[in-house]
A = this chain, B = another copy of it.
């Protein structure tokens, strides 16, 4: 049983609503949102985004990794974004493990030694937002005039609360 077919079916109904329209490649608000993959956060709805408004980047934890910076550089230098929002959330999967236990588990479960890899867990969600804002601010690939904001999303209430650097 695969869910992929369900998504294809649901998409048929979406296509009828969507109609045909070409929106520009460059996001209207010039914002890129860096957030977590969590299933309980629907970014467009929670932030009031229309189609075409903003880039949405998501990984485990919403962490600013090398790949996140690769994506932001493309977002900024190819598609003109000038603002970044780092949005982490309560009850995050990245708060459920520690690197050493997790890599030991992966070694046992998958037979792969990834003991040197950082899976980027965190304890305090406001602190993780601050850390990632600081990584962005210090990156030579992110221009100094780019606006960087941070917030925490509450998955139980849907509320986004600002975090200051």
Binding site for B on A (CB under 8 A): 2-4, 6-11, 13-15, 17-23, 25, 27-32, 37-40, 42, 44-49, 51-60, 65-68, 70-71, 73-75, 77-79, 83, 85, 91, 93-94, 96-97, 102, 105-106, 109-112, 114, 117, 119-120, 140-141, 143, 147, 149, 151, 155-160, 162
Contact = CB atoms under 8 A, between A and B. Distances in A.
Contacts of A27: 39
A69 to B, nearest CB: 10
B70 A117 contact: yes
7 contacts: A25-B93, A32-B37, A42-B49, A74-B119, A78-B93, A79-B93, A114-B141
Contacts of A54: 3, 39
Copies of the polypeptide in the assembly: 2
B13 A48 contact: yes
Contact of A11 (B20, B39, B46, B114): B46
B155 A23 contact: yes
B2 A83 contact: yes
A41 to B, nearest CB: 8
Contact of A20 (B25, B56, B157): B157
B28 A55 contact: no
Contact of A94 (B14, B59, B74, B85): B74
Given A2-B147, A65-B67, A73-B106, A8 B162 contact: yes
A53 B39 CA distance: 6
A11 B48 contact: yes
